[in-house]
Amino acid sequence: MAPSEQSNAEELMSAYLDHELDAKESEEFEAMLASSPEAKEELDDLRQMLQLVSTLPEVEAPPDFYDKVARKIRRRKILEGDLPVFVTLPFQVISVIVVLAIAVVYTMIHLDADPAARLEKDPSAKVKAPEEASAAGEAAEAAEAGEASAGEGSAPQP
């Protein structure tokens, strides 16, 4: 028997045992059973299995059964890549926050390295302009040179 025929036969047997076939389908199925001892044996096996299952006690599902099943379904969807928008949105927000935090830290580091920026942060800090700094440096060197030459020619005064 081909797989599709076997599947169809199993569905017919199940429907027959559940009394879901109409009169015409039921007659056709019974005619098939009469002509096929294998199908009749399979139907008897299915009938016995259903009787055994019906004798089993009913078991109540645990209280957290629904939550566990829902969690497993969500986990499978995530692994398959079917993420709903409400799940991906927090990751997008977190990504933006991380990028902004990196930008703020980078800016703060470079503000501390820039002397003009330090003056803006702390107005009491004195920052000399490059021209003033070079002029002041030359004046200090000249003053030191003048003191050194004056100190050689004159005697220390009491």
> What confidence tens digit (pLDDT) does each residue in 75-113 have?
887 776 655 656 666 778 888 999 999 999 998 887 777
Give me the amino acid identity at 40: K
pLDDT in tens, 11-58: 888 899 888 999 999 998 899 889 989 989 999 999 999 999 989 998
pLDDT over 70 (residue 60): yes
- pLDDT of 90: 77
Whether pLDDT at 7 is above 90: no
Q: State the pLDDT at residue 126.
A: 59
The sign one gets for the Cα dihedral 92, 95, 101, 106 is negative
3 state SS of 111: helix
> Which has the closest alpha carbon to 103: 113, 95, 114?
95
